[in-house]
Structure 1
Amino acid sequence: MNLNEATEENLKYIIDEMAKKLQVVNRSIMDPDDYKLESYDQLKELYDMVEQKGNLSVSEIQAFIDELASHRK
Protein backbone atom coordinates (compact mmCIF):
# COMPACT_ATOMS: atom_id res chain seq x y z
CA MET A 1 0.00 0.00 0.00
CA ASN A 2 1.42 3.35 -1.06
CA LEU A 3 0.21 5.88 1.50
CA ASN A 4 1.71 8.75 -0.49
CA GLU A 5 -1.28 8.62 -2.83
CA ALA A 6 -4.39 10.52 -1.73
CA THR A 7 -7.11 7.90 -2.18
CA GLU A 8 -10.26 7.12 -0.21
CA GLU A 9 -8.80 3.71 0.70
CA ASN A 10 -5.59 5.28 2.05
CA LEU A 11 -7.58 7.91 3.94
CA LYS A 12 -9.65 5.20 5.60
CA TYR A 13 -6.50 3.26 6.48
CA ILE A 14 -4.66 6.17 8.11
CA ILE A 15 -7.74 7.30 10.07
CA ASP A 16 -8.37 3.74 11.33
CA GLU A 17 -4.72 3.28 12.27
CA MET A 18 -4.59 6.60 14.12
CA ALA A 19 -7.77 5.67 16.01
CA LYS A 20 -6.07 2.46 17.18
CA LYS A 21 -2.81 4.18 18.08
CA LEU A 22 -4.57 7.03 19.89
CA GLN A 23 -6.79 4.51 21.70
CA VAL A 24 -9.95 6.37 20.70
CA VAL A 25 -12.92 4.82 22.49
CA ASN A 26 -15.60 6.86 20.73
CA ARG A 27 -14.88 5.73 17.16
CA SER A 28 -17.63 7.97 15.77
CA ILE A 29 -15.19 10.90 15.93
CA MET A 30 -12.79 8.89 13.79
CA ASP A 31 -15.18 7.91 11.00
CA PRO A 32 -13.18 8.14 7.74
CA ASP A 33 -16.30 9.38 5.93
CA ASP A 34 -16.15 12.54 8.05
CA TYR A 35 -12.78 13.59 6.63
CA LYS A 36 -12.17 15.36 3.34
CA LEU A 37 -9.81 13.81 0.81
CA GLU A 38 -8.51 17.34 0.23
CA SER A 39 -7.03 17.21 3.75
CA TYR A 40 -5.16 13.99 3.01
CA ASP A 41 -1.68 15.54 3.09
CA GLN A 42 -2.24 17.11 6.52
CA LEU A 43 -3.81 13.91 7.85
CA LYS A 44 -0.91 11.87 6.46
CA GLU A 45 1.53 14.16 8.30
CA LEU A 46 -0.38 13.55 11.55
CA TYR A 47 -0.36 9.81 10.86
CA ASP A 48 3.41 9.88 10.29
CA MET A 49 3.95 11.79 13.56
CA VAL A 50 1.80 9.32 15.51
CA GLU A 51 3.70 6.40 13.99
CA GLN A 52 7.12 7.92 14.75
CA LYS A 53 6.21 9.01 18.27
CA GLY A 54 5.55 5.54 19.66
CA ASN A 55 4.07 5.93 23.13
CA LEU A 56 2.02 9.08 23.56
CA SER A 57 1.14 10.95 26.72
CA VAL A 58 -2.47 11.79 27.49
CA SER A 59 -1.88 15.43 26.56
CA GLU A 60 -0.27 14.43 23.25
CA ILE A 61 -3.20 12.15 22.44
CA GLN A 62 -5.61 14.98 23.17
CA ALA A 63 -3.61 17.35 20.97
CA PHE A 64 -3.71 14.89 18.07
CA ILE A 65 -7.45 14.37 18.50
CA ASP A 66 -8.02 18.14 18.58
CA GLU A 67 -6.00 18.55 15.40
CA LEU A 68 -7.92 15.73 13.71
CA ALA A 69 -11.18 17.43 14.67
CA SER A 70 -10.12 20.52 12.76
CA HIS A 71 -10.00 18.46 9.56
CA ARG A 72 -13.48 16.97 9.85
CA LYS A 73 -16.13 17.94 7.32
Structure 2
Amino acid sequence: MDLNVPSQQNVEYMIEAIKTKLRMATGAAMQASSFAVEKYEDLKDIYDMVNSKDRFSISEVEALVSELGKLRG
Protein backbone atom coordinates (compact mmCIF):
# COMPACT_ATOMS: atom_id res chain seq x y z
CA MET A 1 0.00 0.00 0.00
CA ASP A 2 1.51 3.32 -1.10
CA LEU A 3 0.24 6.01 1.27
CA ASN A 4 1.81 8.69 -0.92
CA VAL A 5 -0.99 8.13 -3.43
CA PRO A 6 -4.26 9.83 -2.43
CA SER A 7 -7.15 7.38 -2.56
CA GLN A 8 -10.27 6.58 -0.56
CA GLN A 9 -8.75 3.20 0.33
CA ASN A 10 -5.71 4.92 1.83
CA VAL A 11 -7.97 7.37 3.70
CA GLU A 12 -9.81 4.41 5.22
CA TYR A 13 -6.56 2.71 6.17
CA MET A 14 -5.15 5.83 7.85
CA ILE A 15 -8.36 6.58 9.78
CA GLU A 16 -8.48 3.02 11.11
CA ALA A 17 -4.80 3.17 12.09
CA ILE A 18 -5.28 6.51 13.86
CA LYS A 19 -8.32 5.23 15.75
CA THR A 20 -6.43 2.11 16.82
CA LYS A 21 -3.31 3.99 17.89
CA LEU A 22 -5.25 6.57 19.89
CA ARG A 23 -7.50 3.87 21.37
CA MET A 24 -10.45 6.07 20.57
CA ALA A 25 -13.60 5.15 22.46
CA THR A 26 -15.58 7.21 19.95
CA GLY A 27 -13.94 5.55 16.98
CA ALA A 28 -17.28 4.39 15.62
CA ALA A 29 -18.28 8.04 15.21
CA MET A 30 -15.31 8.64 12.92
CA GLN A 31 -16.15 6.92 9.65
CA ALA A 32 -13.51 6.98 6.93
CA SER A 33 -16.21 7.79 4.39
CA SER A 34 -16.60 11.19 6.10
CA PHE A 35 -13.14 12.22 4.92
CA ALA A 36 -12.70 13.49 1.37
CA VAL A 37 -9.66 12.53 -0.65
CA GLU A 38 -9.16 16.29 -1.23
CA LYS A 39 -8.06 16.53 2.43
CA TYR A 40 -5.57 13.71 1.94
CA GLU A 41 -2.37 15.66 2.63
CA ASP A 42 -3.70 17.02 5.93
CA LEU A 43 -4.88 13.56 6.96
CA LYS A 44 -1.53 12.05 5.99
CA ASP A 45 0.26 14.63 8.17
CA ILE A 46 -1.87 13.60 11.16
CA TYR A 47 -1.34 9.92 10.38
CA ASP A 48 2.45 10.37 10.19
CA MET A 49 2.50 12.27 13.48
CA VAL A 50 0.36 9.66 15.24
CA ASN A 51 2.60 6.86 13.98
CA SER A 52 5.74 8.66 15.14
CA LYS A 53 4.78 8.51 18.82
CA ASP A 54 4.09 5.64 21.20
CA ARG A 55 2.03 7.55 23.74
CA PHE A 56 -0.22 10.57 23.77
CA SER A 57 -1.43 12.79 26.57
CA ILE A 58 -5.13 13.42 26.93
CA SER A 59 -4.65 16.96 25.62
CA GLU A 60 -2.77 15.64 22.58
CA VAL A 61 -5.56 13.18 21.81
CA GLU A 62 -8.13 15.95 22.17
CA ALA A 63 -6.14 18.18 19.81
CA LEU A 64 -5.81 15.38 17.25
CA VAL A 65 -9.51 14.57 17.42
CA SER A 66 -10.27 18.27 16.98
CA GLU A 67 -8.06 18.44 13.88
CA LEU A 68 -9.65 15.31 12.45
CA GLY A 69 -13.05 16.87 13.07
CA LYS A 70 -12.06 19.88 10.96
CA LEU A 71 -11.10 17.58 8.09
CA ARG A 72 -14.42 15.76 8.00
CA GLY A 73 -16.57 16.52 5.02
Please, what TM-score do these two structures have when normalized by structure 1? Answer: 0.94
Please, what TM-score do these two structures have when normalized by structure 2? Answer: 0.94
Any unmatched runs of 5+ in structure 2? Answer: none
**CA shift for structure 1 position 43:** 0.2
Question: Retained in 2: the 8 A contact 1:43–1:68?
Answer: yes
1:33-71 Cα offsets, whole Å, 9 max, x none, are 111110011000000000112211111011000000000
Paired residues in the alignment total 73
Mapped to 2, the partners of 1:41 and 1:29 lie a distance apart of: 22
Segments of 4+ moved more than 4 angstroms: none
Any unmatched runs of 5+ in structure 1? Answer: none
